[in-house]
Structure 1
């Protein structure tokens, strides 16, 4: 699991390494066809700021080479805002005095029908809070089954699940999973997630392994820019991405 791999890296050392990069390191990285982690750190370092336009041009080139001039759009469908977590930055926080709603099967279908009437959207992202008792795997499975006739691509952004649950959902139409680690700073992670299942750092970070084990076709990952130093967080995410590509290509 990636939680063991992460132990090999020091947040402080990565931060210091990024800060140590100079213009020459950035220029070397920009001249390479295949970059390593050290090159990535150079490109996100403060020393890379004068090279933003150069990086943008390369990004445009590589994007068009791989995907052409296309834009993929998706529609998020929130099927419940109920949540048992206490994330300090989130509007779904369990303690927030807001109305909690769990859509019925009929309401989910009505939403799918309404989205289809808006235009030719084919990518739906089903989003929930974390409420395994009242909106767990059975509920997610039915939501996917209801949405499948309306959309050709279904993804979820929900609580981390067991590997066997991810696999079960792939059998009901699931194409992809999106999950934000929020931050890779293990010590600070608990500050932002004091209570609830999400407070367990290892359970969340190893969720990507469980997606891979289940054969999920597309895995989306991210961090929340602003919780901790963004340069270190995205470097940790790059390390995580390399690990996932190696183990679950």
Structure 2
């Protein structure tokens, strides 16, 4: 089923779950103690950058050999560098509303949290938040909305139009807005598509249905299947970039990861293309949530690193997102294990980019682990990870989305489009927003990257960098 036609007829049964819990447990139980030969065979297969089956993934999840685990981490690094190069895409969340009609026991926004200060930004307040983000240098926003009737599709479309309209100074503008909001019917998703959004993002939270029903006690979110098929409906409406995820800590992480990958494979089977991104939030402390203080199935840092690395092996062409929930130190390690997108300078409360720290705590969704400023994060990416911070949004605006993007990614097209665009947009950031030390380090990195290119490619990209230095903005291939 192509993802490029509006309001396509579904070819699946939304009354039946495609998450086969018995099969997932059978895969895990059958591979309880895989041999070194079994694990090595899976790692050899992973090197081909063609992805893994659920059984392959189960073998890696059950591996207990430390040497093979280190091999797995090395392969994850190689795959990430092969597919994505040393680029790291940067974005920031913009929380528009924390009004929510659901009661989710792990979330600070839940409807039964009467201590939370509720707020939905007005259009002028959205403008001010976007101006702050643009002054940091952001070009890409994840707009986040609590699941509440006031955050209906028309209100969301209006707020997105406002975000796109904001221009700050000579170069501040938002070029891509991804959306995290409640699942919709196909007709509403078609309206959302008219807002020129990038990726539609929605997390199942937990794929284990008994747990799902336990932690969701009020609101439309109680409907497990309606949420499970949200991405199918979005693709039917023509939104061909979607992002999925699970909230690790609610249930057994091995089950959740296999179910998450089963979701990705089902989307590819039914809709012709899998998810554009996968996210890995872990439960973090949230005001008004006792469950978040001690997660039922806590995932420690070492386990979390295995989850990220295994996912990179299993779905090599999918973007992996890491938010500022995690500490700076852990995020640094995860960059080398397959993460390709990170948030920077984030706030998780409506109006948080202008509010005091005390006001943020009274209205935020969860606590952050990485509080560093945008410029500090970028400086570290350049000097410690030798990574190119990318602000590119060219693929979306050139129509390289959905199955078109995945087809190009499988041909390893990074060198043709993404690497040059990353360098050009990074120069734009350095010229307009960076501190002196970041500008110096960043320009040195750009020169090192240019030295790796053929003379003709270096010449073409250098011309774009010169135009950027002369004041031209938004250059992309």
Which residue in 1 is equivalent to 2:158? 142
Within 2, Cα distance between the matches of 1:212 and 1:89?
A: 29
Within 2, Cα distance between the matches of 1:229 and 1:22?
A: 23
Q: Is the 8 A contact 2:21 2:208 kept in 1?
A: no
Superposed, which structure 2 residues align to 1:191-210 within 5 Å? 191-210=214-233
Deviations, residues 168-189 of structure 1 (Å, cap 9, x unaligned):
1121121111111111111221
Within 2, Cα distance between the matches of 1:143 and 1:68?
A: 34
Q: Is the 8 A contact 2:202 2:243 kept in 1?
A: yes
Superposed, which structure 2 residues align to 1:11-30 within 5 Å? 11-30=24-43
Q: Is the 8 A contact 1:154 1:174 kept in 2?
A: yes
Which residue in 1 is equivalent to 2:54? 37
Shift of 1:53: 1.8
Within 1, Cα distance between the matches of 2:66 and 2:152?
A: 45
Tell which deviates more after alignment, 198-207 or 238-247: 238-247
Within 2, Cα distance between the matches of 1:110 and 1:7?
A: 42
- Residues 1:4 and 2:20 aligned together: no
Deviations, residues 140-166 of structure 1 (Å, cap 9, x unaligned):
001111112431111111111112222
Of residues 64, 67, 71, the one that matches 1:47 is 64
Within 2, Cα distance between the matches of 1:18 and 1:178?
A: 32
Within 2, Cα distance between the matches of 1:43 and 1:212?
A: 31
Q: Is the 8 A contact 2:179 2:200 kept in 1?
A: yes
When the two structures are superposed, what TM-score results if normalisation uses the length of structure 2?
0.49
| CA 1:18–1:81: 2 relative to 1, 3 Å | farther
Tell which deviates more after alignment, 6-15 or 173-182: 6-15
Which residue in 2 is equivalent to 1:124? 141
- Residues 1:94 and 2:114 aligned together: no
Which residue in 2 is equivalent to 1:111? 129
Superposed, which structure 2 residues align to 1:56-95 within 5 Å? 56-95=73-112
Runs of at least 5 residues in structure 1 that lack an aligned partner in the other structure: none
Q: Is the 8 A contact 1:23 1:47 kept in 2?
A: no
Within 1, Cα distance between the matches of 2:31 and 2:206?
A: 17
Within 2, Cα distance between the matches of 1:234 and 1:166?
A: 27
Q: Is the radius of gyration larger for structure 1 or structure 2?
A: 2
Shift of 1:48: 5.6
Matched position secondary structure for 2:269: helix
Q: Is the 8 A contact 1:105 1:143 kept in 2?
A: yes
Shift of 1:208: 1.4
Which residue in 2 is equivalent to 1:239? 262
Deviations, residues 88-120 of structure 1 (Å, cap 9, x unaligned):
01100111121110100111111111210112x
Within 2, Cα distance between the matches of 1:225 and 1:22?
A: 27
Deviations, residues 19-39 of structure 1 (Å, cap 9, x unaligned):
353333211101113432211
Q: Is the 8 A contact 1:26 1:47 kept in 2?
A: no
| CA 1:194–1:18: 2 relative to 1, 3 Å | farther
Tell which deviates more after alignment, 59-68 or 192-201: 59-68
Q: Is the 8 A contact 2:32 2:62 kept in 1?
A: yes
Matched position secondary structure for 1:58: helix
Deviations, residues 36-63 of structure 1 (Å, cap 9, x unaligned):
2211111122436542221121111111
Runs of at least 5 residues in structure 2 that lack an aligned partner in the other structure: 1-11, 166-172, 274-477
Within 2, Cα distance between the matches of 1:22 and 1:87?
A: 40
Superposed, which structure 2 residues align to 1:145-160 within 5 Å? 145-149=161-165, 150-160=173-183
Of residues 216, 230, 234, the one that matches 1:211 is 234
Tell which deviates more after alignment, 14-23 or 203-212: 14-23
